């Protein structure tokens, strides 16, 4: 099973700043089939990015994904108040599908 | 609007059974693969089971294989998860999720709000 390690655990930033979140896989993710989700308290996860770099429908272009193989990054170019949440990566190229443990983006 | 509404969670003793349901609306249910994903504060998000859209092929995580059974009723746009021989470690918030129709292996594009299962 592929283990996904997200870093940092918590990111303290101010609105308007740039956020860079990392997701590292224990082995190469087939075809870079990696997704990013956002989760707010008491809500279900929301798909942001799939295929490492494709934005899901309705996702603002301040969200971008990059990376390949074992190293992936989610970047939020300018944080809006609604972006302070927990972010998870998920690989779906290898069975079983696995998730990272999450990165919390909090207001500094 | 796509909606997924889970039900059936509750408190059950170890070794007991529970059946979760997910009522889907807003899309052509029988053309989408569906899945169950669970979440706990300690273990985070864990994929549990999935089922294909038309032929009903089922897939399970090793942690639930032989104890859980996923099924669907396309005539009622309903997804189910029969959970038997429940253990304390099955305690979690269970989400119903839809696979993005991206062709091939895809992530989850819609999730329900979850139903809480407590085994104690």
Q: In A, residues 31-90, which contact B (CB 8 Å cutoff)?
A: 31, 33, 35, 43-47, 50-51, 56-57, 88, 90
Q: For residue A53, give the nearest of B92, B107, B96 by alpha carbon.
A: B107
pLDDT in tens, B23-39: 999 999 999 999 999 99
Rounded Cα gap, residues B115 and B11, in angstroms: 11
Q: For residue B22, give the nearest of B98, B91, B89, B83 by alpha carbon.
A: B98
CB contact under 8 A, A90 and B107: yes
Q: CA dihedral in degrees (A16, A17, A18, A21; nearest 10)?
A: -110
CB contact under 8 A, A90 and B105: no
What are the C-alpha distances in Å from B68 to residues B57, B59, B63, B87, B101?
Answer: 14, 10, 9, 12, 25
C-alpha radius of gyration, chain B, whole number: 13
Place of tokens 């609604």: A82
CB contact under 8 A, B108 and A47: yes
Q: What is the pLDDT along chain A (108 residues), one digit of tens a residue?
A: 999 999 999 999 999 999 999 999 999 999 999 999 999 999 999 999 999 999 999 999 999 999 999 999 999 999 999 999 999 999 999 999 999 999 999 999
């Amino acid at each position: 099973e592929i283990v996904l390690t997200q870093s940092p655990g918590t990111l303290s930033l101010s609105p308007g700043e740039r956020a860079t979140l990392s997701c590292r896989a224990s082995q190469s993710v087939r075809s870079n089939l990696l997704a990013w989700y956002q989760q707010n308290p008491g809500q279900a996860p929301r798909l942001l990015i799939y295929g490492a770099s494709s934005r899901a429908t309705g996702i603002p272009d301040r969200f971008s994904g990059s990376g390949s193989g074992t190293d992936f990054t989610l970047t939020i170019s300018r944080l809006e108040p609604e972006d302070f949440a927990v972010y998870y990566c998920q690989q779906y190229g290898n069975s079983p599908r696995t998730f990272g443990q999450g990165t919390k983006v909090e207001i500094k | 609007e796509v909606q997924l509404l889970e039900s059936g969670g509750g408190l059950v003793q170890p070794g007991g059974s529970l059946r979760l349901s997910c009522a889907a609306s807003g899309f052509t249910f029988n053309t989408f693969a569906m899945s169950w994903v669970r979440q706990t504060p300690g273990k985070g998000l864990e994929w549990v089971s999935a089922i294909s859209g038309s032929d009903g092929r089922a897939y399970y995580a090793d942690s639930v294989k032989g104890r859980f059974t996923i099924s669907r009723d396309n005539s009622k746009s309903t997804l189910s998860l029969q959970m038997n021989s429940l253990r304390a470690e099955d305690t979690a918030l269970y989400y119903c999720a839809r696979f993005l129709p991206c062709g091939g292996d895809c992530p989850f594009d819609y999730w329900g709000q979850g139903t809480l299962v407590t085994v104690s």
